[in-house]
Amino acid sequence: MGLTLRRVAIDTYHENVAYLHRDCAVYRAEGFQALSKVEIRANGKRILATLNVVNDASIVGCNELGVSEDAFARLEVEDGHPASVSQAEPPESIPALFRKINGERLTRDDFHAIVRDIADLRYSKIELTAFVVASNRSELDREEVYFLTEAMVASGRTLDWHESLVVDKHCIGGIPGNRTSMLVVPIVSAYGLVFPKTSSRAITSPAGTADTMEVLANVELPFEQLIDIVRDHRGCLAWGGTADLSPADDVLISVERPLSIDSPGQMVASILSKKIAAGATHLVLDIPIGPSAKVRSMPEAQRLRRLFEYVAQRMHLSLDVVITDGRQPVGRGVGPVLEARDVMQVLENDPDAPNDLRQKSLRLAGRLIECSPDVRGGDGFGIARDILDSGRALAQMRAIIQAQGAHEFDHHHPPLGALTFDITATEAGVVVGIDNLQIAQIARLAGAPKVKGAGVDLLRKLGDRVAAGDVLYRVYANYPADLEFARQACARASGYSLGHADQVPHVFVEF
Amino acid sequence: MGLTLRRVAIDTYHENVAYLHRDCAVYRAEGFQALSKVEIRANGKRILATLNVVNDASIVGCNELGVSEDAFARLEVEDGHPASVSQAEPPESIPALFRKINGERLTRDDFHAIVRDIADLRYSKIELTAFVVASNRSELDREEVYFLTEAMVASGRTLDWHESLVVDKHCIGGIPGNRTSMLVVPIVSAYGLVFPKTSSRAITSPAGTADTMEVLANVELPFEQLIDIVRDHRGCLAWGGTADLSPADDVLISVERPLSIDSPGQMVASILSKKIAAGATHLVLDIPIGPSAKVRSMPEAQRLRRLFEYVAQRMHLSLDVVITDGRQPVGRGVGPVLEARDVMQVLENDPDAPNDLRQKSLRLAGRLIECSPDVRGGDGFGIARDILDSGRALAQMRAIIQAQGAHEFDHHHPPLGALTFDITATEAGVVVGIDNLQIAQIARLAGAPKVKGAGVDLLRKLGDRVAAGDVLYRVYANYPADLEFARQACARASGYSLGHADQVPHVFVEF
């Protein structure tokens, strides 16, 4: 029975949805149920979709087969094209999914089948969530994490830079303001190493590197332009979403995020698959630890390090894990414009530049420079500092910004949100705690990253002595509702703790 | 910012969905993302919904707030009513859900909060699935199963029949043709016990009791009529979906079904919560075991029995667990009309009636009759047989059918599907195996339960000797496509195994 295809302009976000009218003869004859998985065939293509039943002929008529935005794009046809729909065979990997739900260990082939089905959007939200929850905690052993990583790389494109040494850096996240990539890339690429940095946008944080870089330049670059920029400048700072790298990762994140799931196995597979697909041969990985960081103790950090190292070694990626100070946000600004300001201050060697951001970036850059076979271990930091102090890093950053397409931005007069309020110390004391999660939450409620000029500017950091009434931080927003949300969050918990100098938590790490 | 409400006639099946146009000022100002949880306020009511973003003003305009069918009904307003929408606070129980995902044990209060949110449709499909998968396998201890059961009862209505003895029976499922309720209810209610039987429709099977009873009578009865029928006749055989009994169960099933999840804890909570909410004081529970039954070994059956007994005792329900022969389908017919025919043959004491269905029903009815304080243990079977043989059970069934509203049905000429094919023995031998799962699958593909006359008629059962060419079973369908699906399934595996008489598997149980 033939139907005509109709684009139903609903964005169902990584889930293909098919819409059939309740009185459609096919719906009745096939005995579909709502939420059935159906197979749509049109234009020689086949896709799976979840069925929604419609009672309104103005959305889909009785002879029409409606499909959601993403699904319509995948069929690559015009409205009104002939199409057919039938009960779908379940995705090939469903038996493997059921075995994982039942607590069994899966094989390499199982993971490849599951990830292929996920990348092809053959899983419903229900099946996706089941995979994520059943693979949570210690449900995956390290061999399975390796299989998952390998399968995620295989699910998308792999870039080949035709270079024997392609460096990258990554942080596991959780520390607001931690924009070291925007300093490490210009320093290390100015030194001459190939550093094609692709970043994500913020998922749960107030800014990702791509969000902050976008204050300065275009980040959504066509793939060919990205190749040209890296050939000409050895580095770039682009958004990775257009490159089809580890596409299953993006689909998995769409259910991990609302469940706040970020288990070690999934983190390792997600990060390493993206980096390997992007063509990195050498990676420096930053694991911050602190009382409100993702990792809260050294034993936990060491366990995570070993899992990263095991999988990296199986995937032939040279990996250097550094465990860093995650007790508080890095730099001063939290939010795209504020963080871009901090980065430019460091690049310009401004005496007011946040020193913690400068020091951390130099150390990471030094580690990467030491990947170069002609640099002795320990010499990287000095080389990086020379490149930054001499202005070569700034020149390199300007060249990358020009190549990507510069945006107007004067960091001496950053375009911050027009609405502000200050949080002040209610008593004298020393700053003995800054809660990463609470500061991130306040910055998000104020509008970051969607509102580029929104966020939190930290005027005091750990160990600073304050008098009663001193400003601890300033919140910027653009919309009254956002400002009010942020103000309520600050009233519940400012994120700052004051006390005595000897209460400042120890620095856990040397680096 | 005010919006007007618009019914979007899409059936999203137990998930509230809100539709906002991408250019809607509220969407932009609030910084919503696709799949955000939003709170809709209208008419003094508040509901949570998942956001879908729409690019077509004919579905929702820029000043409209679209809501899916179920959600619209819950708001109890007209199209065009003023409404507002905002970022939703996550459901109260989300922290408890996250703890369960992380493998923690939950408290009674946690389960009550989670189940209340589920029954109120405050959970997204992602959150629901996470709860189901995180509570799967042995993740719930027996105290937690009790808390879950109690919370599920509390989430809906509880019926009170104002009787000290209200009996019920239930089977954990998985055995096609197992329509004992339609015999046990007339026998036991004719004896005089109150037996208000509410049943489900088929979820994954080719027929539920409600589907088969519907061949004979109305099963979707208004609640008040159901009360009247039970007062007049001591029994009924109705569909339980209208009575709002353990409503969280229906929502959970909507994600358990596509994942084939049916863990002991969830099964116990689901079954006992429904029965207790329906007002039962005494329950006989049927656990069939066999190579293709849900439960495949006696130790597994005993573990399940102990869990049922523990929770029943905590809930003050008198429970009698019987472990029965689940090696093959019960009776001959599989599918609503075929099963109704079997039931009527037994009630009429037709010599051709399937004896296994008769015997099993008499034994279950006997156990229930023994709940009566004036019946000695062991006497129930004889009493039940007298009621059946004397025609009193048939008369009682006719009275119930009349009271519910009789449908025209002549079991001597049952309205079976017009299209059929036979599966025959390819060689001589003895039937040594009948696969419950495969027979159920063939009957479903043939159209059951949606097509009442579709299904499988088993002409040979375990232990029967056949010659090459003898018909093993006959498949009935109404639509050519269904017939073809069923035929392909039979070609892959007929479900029958032939062999020597000594290969017939042992009867595991006496009952």
**Do B447 and B347 share a domain, yes or no?**
no
Count of A–B CB contacts within 8 Å?
A: 125
A351 in reach of chain B (CB within 8 A): no
Q: Are residues A396 and A428 in the same domain?
A: no
Query: pLDDT, tens digit, for every residue of B43-102?
Result: 888 888 888 889 888 899 989 999 998 888 889 888 899 998 887 777 899 999 999 998
Q: What is the domain extent for residue B483? A: 419-503
Q: Residues with Cβ < 8 Å from B52, sequence gap 6 or more?
A: A10, A11, A12, A13, B17, B18, B19, B20, B34, B35
Question: Half-sphere exposure (CA, 13 Å, Cβ side) for A148?
Answer: 30
pTM for this model (two decimals) = 0.84
- Looking at the structure, do residues B76 and B225 belong to the same domain, yes or no? no
| pLDDT score for B506 | 82
Q: Cα distance from B10 to chain A (closest Cα, Å)?
A: 4
Name the band, by pLDDT with cuts 50, 70 and 90, for residue A33. low
Tens digit of each residue's pLDDT (9 = 90 or more) over A174-216:
999 999 999 999 999 999 999 999 988 887 789 999 999 999 9
| Mean pLDDT value of segment A355-383 | 96
The answer to whether the bond into A449 is cis (omega within 30° of 0) is yes
Whether B190 contacts chain A with CB within 8 A = no
The amino acid occupying position A491 is A
The CATH number linked to A218 is 3.40.1030.10
**Residues A360 and A213 grouped into a single domain:** yes
Query: CA–CA separation, B396 vs B401, rounded Å?
Result: 9
Last residue of one domain, picked from the residues A87, A115, A142: A87
Over residues A488-504, the pLDDT tens digits come to 999 999 999 999 999 99
**All residues at 6 or more sequence positions from A73 whose CB lies less than 8 Å from its CB, including other chains:** none
Cα separation of A310 and A272, whole Å?
A: 11
Overall size of chain B counted in residues: 511
Which of helix, strand or coil describes residue A412?
coil
Cβ neighbours for A510, distance < 8 A, ≥ 6 positions apart? none
Q: How far apart are CA A280 and CA B338, in angstroms?
A: 64
Please report the residues numbered 8 through 67 in chain B whose beta carbons come closer than 8 angstroms to any beta carbon of chain A: 8-13, 19, 22, 29-31, 34-35, 37, 52-56, 58-59
Lookup result for tokens 């197992």: B178
Q: Write down how long chain A is.
A: 511
Are A368 and A309 members of one domain? yes
Could you count the other beta carbons within 10 Å of the beta carbon of residue A425?
20
Between positions 356 and 375 of B, the ones with CB within 8 A of A are none
| Contact (Cβ atoms closer than 8 angstroms) between residue B459 and residue B472 | yes
Cα distance between residue A117 and residue A154, in whole Å: 12
Q: Say whether residue B406 is in contact with chain A using an 8 A CB cutoff.
A: no
A50 to chain B: nearest residue by CA? Answer: B12
Instruction: Respond yes or no: is residue A262 known to be catalytic.
Output: yes
User: Does residue B1 surpass a pLDDT of 60?
Assistant: no
Report CB contact under 8 Å: B35, A137: no
A383 and A428: one domain?
no
Spell out which residues of chain B touch residue A9, defining contact as CB-CB under 8 Å: 54-56, 59
Chain centroid to Cα B17, Å, comes to 26
The answer to whether A318 touches A281, Cβ cutoff 8 Å, is: yes
A229–chain B nearest CA distance, Å: 32
Do residues B383 and B454 share a domain? no
DSSP 8-state symbol, B137: G
Cα→Cα distances A97→A101, A111, A115, A254, B6, Å: 6, 9, 11, 18, 39
Give the end of a domain, one of A357, A380, A404: A404
Domain shared by A434 and A398, yes or no: no
Instruction: Flag if B130 and A127 touch (Cβ within 8 Å).
Output: no
Decide if B58 and A58 are in contact by the 8 Å CB cutoff.
yes
pLDDT of residue A328: 97
For residue B53, the cross-strand partners are A11, B20
The residue ranges of DSSP E strands in B216-367, in sequence order, are: 235-239, 282-289, 318-325, 333-334
Determine how β-strand A419-424 pairs with β-strand A471-477. Answer: antiparallel
pLDDT class for B35, splitting at 50, 70, 90? Answer: low
Cβ within 8 Å of B, A 286-345? none
- State whether B10 and A30 contact (CB < 8 Å): no
pLDDT at site A66: 93
Direct distance between the N- and C-terminal alpha carbons of chain A, in angstroms, rounded to an integer: 67
Give B99-121 pLDDT, tens digit per residue: 999 889 999 999 999 999 999 88
Buried b (16+ CB within 10 A) or exposed e, A450-474: bbbbbbbbbbbbbebebeeeeebbb
**Residue A427 near residue A468, CB atoms below 8 Å:** yes
Helix (H) or strand (E) holding A321: strand A318-325
> CA of B136, closest CA in chain A: separation in Å?
8
CA angle, residues B5, B7, B10, in degrees to nearest 5: 145
Q: What pLDDT does residue B429 have?
A: 96
In this structure, what are the phi and psi dihedrals at residue A198, rounded to the nearest 5 degrees?
Answer: -110, 135
- Per-residue pLDDT band for B507 (boundaries 50, 70, 90) equals confident
On average, the pLDDT of chain B sits at 92
Residue type, A429: G
Q: Tell me the HSE value of B152 on the side-chain side, using a 13 A CA sphere.
A: 31
Cis-peptide into B449, omega within 30 deg:
yes
Which residue carries 């059962």 as its tokens?
A: B461
Give the per-residue pLDDT at A16: 86
**Higher-scoring residue by pLDDT: B38, A27:** B38
B473 within 8 A of B423, measured Cβ to Cβ? yes
- Is A71 at the interface with chain B, CB within 8 A? no
pLDDT at B36 over 80: no
In the structure, what pLDDT confidence band is assigned to residue A137 with cuts at 50, 70 and 90? confident
Checking DSSP bridges between strand A64-67 and strand A455-458, what pairing results, if any? unpaired
> Which pLDDT belongs to residue A93?
96
Q: Which of A132, A508, A133, A136 is nearest to A300 (CA)?
A: A508
Domain containing A51 — which CATH number? Answer: 2.40.40.20
Structure tokens at B26: 């509220």
Task: Specify the DSSP element, H or E, that contains B413.
Answer: none
The reply to whether residue A259 touches residue B98, judged by beta carbons under 8 angstroms, is yes
Would B204 be classed as within a structural domain?
A: yes
Roughly how many angstroms between the first and final C-alpha of chain B, as a whole number? 67
**What confidence tens digit (pLDDT) does each residue in B451-473 have?**
999 999 999 999 999 999 999 99
Q: In this structure, are strands A282-289 and A318-325 parallel, antiparallel, or unpaired?
A: parallel
Q: Does residue A149 belong to any structural domain of this protein?
A: no
pLDDT at A476 over 90: yes
Claim to verify: residue B195 and residue B310 sit in the same structural domain = yes
Cβ-nearest to A133 among B8, B12, B133: B133
Q: Do A450 and B103 touch (CB under 8 A)?
A: no
Give the span between the Cα atoms of A510 and A298, in whole angstroms: 12
| Residues B207-265: tens digit of each pLDDT | 999 999 999 999 999 988 999 999 999 999 999 877 788 899 988 988 888 888 888 99
pLDDT digits (tens, 9 = 90+) for A224-236: 899 999 999 999 9
pLDDT above 70: percentage of residues in chain A = 97
Give the CATH number for residue B428.
Answer: 3.90.1170.30
pLDDT digit string, tens, across residues A43-95 = 888 888 888 889 888 899 989 999 998 888 888 888 899 998 887 777 899 99
CA atoms within 13 A on the CB side of B213: 32
Write out pLDDT tens, residues B383-405: 999 999 999 999 999 999 999 99
Distances (CA, A) of A168 to A384, B223, B392: 15, 67, 83
Q: Is residue B94 part of a domain?
A: no
What's the pLDDT band for B148 if we cut at 50, 70, 90? very high
pLDDT of A29 reads: 62
Apex A20 CA angle, A15 and A22, nearest 5: 135
Helices (H), B295-405: 298-314, 336-347, 355-369, 380-389, 392-404
Asked, for residue A346, whether it belongs to a domain, the answer is yes
Residues in chain A within 8 Å Cβ distance of B261 = 101
- Check pLDDT > 70 for residue B366: yes
- Write down the pLDDT at residue A35: 62
Q: Same domain, yes or no, for A215 and A324?
A: yes
B124 touching A (Cβ < 8 Å): yes
Q: Compute the Cα dihedral for B360, B363, B364, B369 and give only its sign.
A: positive
Residues of chain A with C-beta less than 8 angstroms from the C-beta of B73? none
User: Does residue B176 sit in the same domain as residue B321?
Assistant: yes
The answer as to whether B129 is a domain residue is: no
List Cα–Cα distances, B220 to A34, B66, B248, B280, in angstroms.
Answer: 20, 31, 20, 20
More confident site: B44 or A329: A329
What is the tens place of the pLDDT at every residue in B265-304? 999 999 999 999 999 999 999 999 999 999 999 999 999 9
Catalytic entry in B249, B262, B356, B482: B262
Domain boundary among B49, B65, B87: B87
Query: Where do the DSSP E strands lie in A25-161?
Result: 37-42, 45-54, 64-67, 82-87
Identify whether B435 is part of a domain. yes
**Contact state of B59 with A9 under an 8 Å Cβ cutoff:** yes
Angstrom distance (rounded) from CA B191 to CA B466: 41
Average pLDDT over residues A303-332: 96
Which of B458, B462, B456 has the alpha carbon at shortest distance from B497? Answer: B462
Q: Is residue B136 part of a domain?
A: no
- Contact list in A for residue B15 (CB cut-off 8 A) is none
Reported ipTM: the value is 0.80
Q: What is the pLDDT of residue A138?
A: 65
- Which two three-digit tokens encode residue B128? 């629901």
Pinpoint the alpha helices (H) of B102-222: 108-119, 125-134, 142-154, 181-191, 209-216
Query: What is the pLDDT at residue B238?
Result: 93
Q: What is the pLDDT of residue A508?
A: 67
The stretch B181-207 carries a mean pLDDT of 93
CB–CB contact B53 A11 (8 Å): yes
The reply to whether omega before A176 is within 30° of 0 (cis) is no
pLDDT value for B122: 86
Confirm whether A305 is domain-assigned.
yes
From chain A residues 228-247, the ones with a CB under 8 A of any chain B CB are none
What is residue A24's predicted lDDT score, i.e. its pLDDT? 84
Confidence band of B190 (pLDDT split at 50, 70, 90): very high
Kindly report, residue by residue over A261-293, the tens digit of the pLDDT.
888 999 999 999 999 999 999 999 999 999 999
Q: Residue B470 — φ and ψ, nearest 5°?
A: -65, 145
Give rounded-to-5 percent helix, strand, coil for chain B.
40, 20, 40
Domains contained in chain A, number: 3
Give yes or no: residues A270 and A369 share one domain.
yes
Q: In angstroms, rounded to a whole number, what is the distance separating the alpha carbons of residues A447 and A478?
A: 7
